[in-house]
């Protein structure tokens, strides 16, 4: 409130609160009742310091602005090579991003590898990779040994079996949908169908799982019972149910990716084929699909990786029983389901029952890596170069 006083009053500042109060009251400033006389010189000095700081701040801002403008002018001069500096900065930024991605992958692999080595110190690798019995509950010390109780074969077979059934559903339907949208659908139909398919791809997998366990599983079981007139040959939780629901979930993925790939085929190839007298279906079979084959293989690979890594649908639609069967109407389980089961129990972390989850994770990583290598080989072998 002292700043509202005129210069003459400030020069002859009263030393007591009783004299200062009416002067401030005349300017509309009210003082608290507990204000003491010793506060007056402190307030005067504080105002002077604020004035000095304000002046100093203005000088700093002015000098900084001039220096920044001078530096900017120097940077845009031809001899400063600003373009080279930007390119160098972009290069280091991209290099740092790729390094982080690589180091993250290496860290994940090493974290699984060390725990897997610890697991194999108590369980034979031969019994793990070639065992046909999965029953970790009886693999504790003093129960007759752990040989054969951590068999991977039932889990690996279930993973590949369910993924294969899902691909048999998703790939043909998704690919034909993509061909229709890219080659036959009108722009109006395409503008409606493609966003709808992409929206379906965002539905949580737990929703598909609930649909399988509540609706599809009981329906197939009752249908099989009606066909045989007795006991059903399709269980409520089965490979077929899980694969069918997972395939429906993956149809939008295959369709969307394949549609983008087919649409990217040069228009000149279509026109050339049609100009030579080929029909539209012949052009699709002999020109467009071979040209888009590398991309379609990549789309199928992505779909297969999604199917192999799925968990919730398998838990609800196929169950958690580690069976080894070729009957698609019986229950099986996958590697991912058992990883969740082993890590969510109340066992000690250093027990084989828990460490086996890391061995399963490393096996799943290796399986996906092999699939990627095979897909790259296929893409490079059948890739066609177009001018």
Is residue 281 located within the same domain as residue 192? yes
End-of-domain residue from the set 75, 104, 138: 75
How is residue 12 annotated by DSSP? T
pLDDT tens digits, one per residue of 202-228: 888 899 999 998 998 889 888 988 888
Is residue 180 located within the same domain as residue 89? no
Is residue 12 located within the same domain as residue 98? no
Torsion of CA 374, 376, 378, 382, to 10 degrees: -170
Is residue 64 located within the same domain as residue 101? no
Is residue 323 located within the same domain as residue 224? yes
Answer yes or no: is pLDDT of 384 > 50: yes
129: in domain: no
Is residue 231 located within the same domain as residue 203? yes
* Whether 174 contacts 247, CB under 8 Å: no
Report the alpha-carbon distance of residue 19 to residue 22 in Å, rounded: 7
130: in domain: no
pLDDT tens digits, one per residue of 187-205: 888 888 888 887 888 888 8
How far the first Cα of the chain sits from its last, in Å, is 80
* Whether 304 contacts 243, CB under 8 Å: no
Is residue 357 located within the same domain as residue 330? yes
Answer yes or no: is pLDDT of 43 > 80: no
128: in domain: no
Nearest by Cα to 178 from 334, 313, 289: 289
CA distances from 338 to 135, 169, 201, 227, 281 (A): 11, 25, 25, 34, 46
Q: How many independent structural domains does the chain possess? A: 3
353: in domain: yes
* Whether 294 contacts 189, CB under 8 Å: no
The residues facing 150 across adjacent strands are 134
Report the alpha-carbon distance of residue 173 to residue 162 in Å, rounded: 17
- Say what the pLDDT of residue 88 is: 82
Is residue 202 located within the same domain as residue 112? no
Is residue 157 located within the same domain as residue 102? no
End-of-domain residue from the set 75, 102, 136: 75
Structure tokens, 59: 């000088």
Is residue 90 located within the same domain as residue 52? no
* Whether 9 contacts 23, CB under 8 Å: yes
Structure tokens, 273: 């084929």
How is residue 214 annotated by DSSP? I
66: in domain: yes
Report the alpha-carbon distance of residue 153 to residue 263 in Å, rounded: 41
Domain that holds residue 253: 152-382
Is residue 177 located within the same domain as residue 318? yes
**In terms of C-beta density within 10 A (0-12 exposed, 13-18 middle, 19 or more buried), how is residue 56 classed?**
exposed
Q: What is the CATH number of the domain that holds 305?
A: 1.10.3720.10
* HSE toward the beta carbon, residue 292, CA cutoff 13 A: 27
387: in domain: no
**Average pLDDT, whole number, for the chain?**
81
Answer yes or no: is pLDDT of 26 > 70: no
Nearest by Cα to 305 from 206, 373, 208: 373
Report the alpha-carbon distance of residue 161 to residue 174 in Å, rounded: 20
125: in domain: no
pLDDT tens digits, one per residue of 234-288: 888 889 999 999 999 999 989 988 888 888 888 888 888 888 888 888 888 888 8
End-of-domain residue from the set 21, 51, 75: 75
Three-state SS at 9: helix
Q: Is-above-0.85 flag for pTM?
A: no
Is residue 95 located within the same domain as residue 214? no
204: in domain: yes
Answer yes or no: is pLDDT of 161 > 90: yes
Buried b (16+ CB within 10 A) or exposed e, 178-201: bbebbbebeeeebeebbeebeeee
* Whether 151 contacts 127, CB under 8 Å: yes
For the chain, state the CA radius of gyration.
36
Share of the chain above pLDDT 90, in %: 14
The residues facing 134 across adjacent strands are 150
């Amino acid at each position: 409130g002292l700043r509202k006083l005129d210069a003459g009053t400030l020069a002859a500042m009263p030393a007591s609160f009783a004299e200062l109060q009416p002067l401030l009251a005349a300017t509309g400033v009210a003082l608290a009742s507990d204000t003491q006389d010793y506060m007056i010189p402190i307030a005067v000095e504080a105002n002077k310091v604020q004035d000095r700081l304000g002046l100093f701040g203005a000088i700093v801002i002015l000098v900084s602005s001039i220096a920044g403008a001078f530096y900017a002018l120097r940077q845009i001069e031809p001899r400063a090579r600003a373009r080279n500096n930007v390119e160098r900065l972009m290069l280091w930024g991209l290099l740092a991003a790729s390094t982080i991605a690589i180091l993250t992958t290496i860290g994940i692999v090493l974290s699984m590898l060390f725990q897997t080595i610890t697991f194999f110190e108590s369980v034979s690798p031969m019994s793990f990779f070639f065992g046909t019995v999965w029953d970790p509950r009886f693999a504790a010390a003093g129960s007759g040994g752990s040989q054969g109780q951590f068999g991977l074969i039932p889990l690996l077979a279930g993973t590949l079996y369910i993924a294969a059934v899902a691909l048999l559903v998703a790939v043909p339907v998704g690919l034909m949908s993509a061909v229709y949208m890219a080659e036959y659908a009108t722009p109006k139909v395409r503008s409606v169908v493609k966003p709808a398919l992409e929206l379906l791809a965002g539905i949580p997998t737990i929703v598909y799982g609930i649909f399988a366990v509540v609706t599809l599983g009981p329906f197939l079981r009752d249908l099989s019972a009606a066909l045989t007139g007795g006991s059903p040959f399709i269980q409520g939780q089965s490979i077929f149910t899980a694969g069918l629901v997972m395939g429906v979930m993956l149809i939008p993925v295959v369709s969307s990716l394949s549609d983008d790939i087919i649409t990217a085929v040069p228009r000149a190839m279509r026109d050339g084929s049609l100009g030579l007298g080929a029909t539209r279906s012949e052009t699709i079979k002999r020109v467009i699909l071979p040209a888009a084959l590398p991309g379609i293989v990549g789309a199928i690979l992505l779909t297969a990786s999604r199917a192999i890594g799925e968990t919730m649908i398998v838990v609800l639609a196929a169950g958690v029983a580690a069976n080894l069967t070729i009957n698609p109407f019986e229950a099986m389980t996958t590697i991912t389901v058992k990883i969740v089961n082993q890590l969510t129990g109340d066992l000690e972390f250093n027990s084989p029952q828990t460490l086996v989850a890391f061995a399963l994770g490393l096996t799943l990583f290796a399986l996906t890596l092999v699939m990627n290598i095979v897909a790259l080989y296929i893409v490079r072998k059948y890739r066609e170069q177009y001018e």
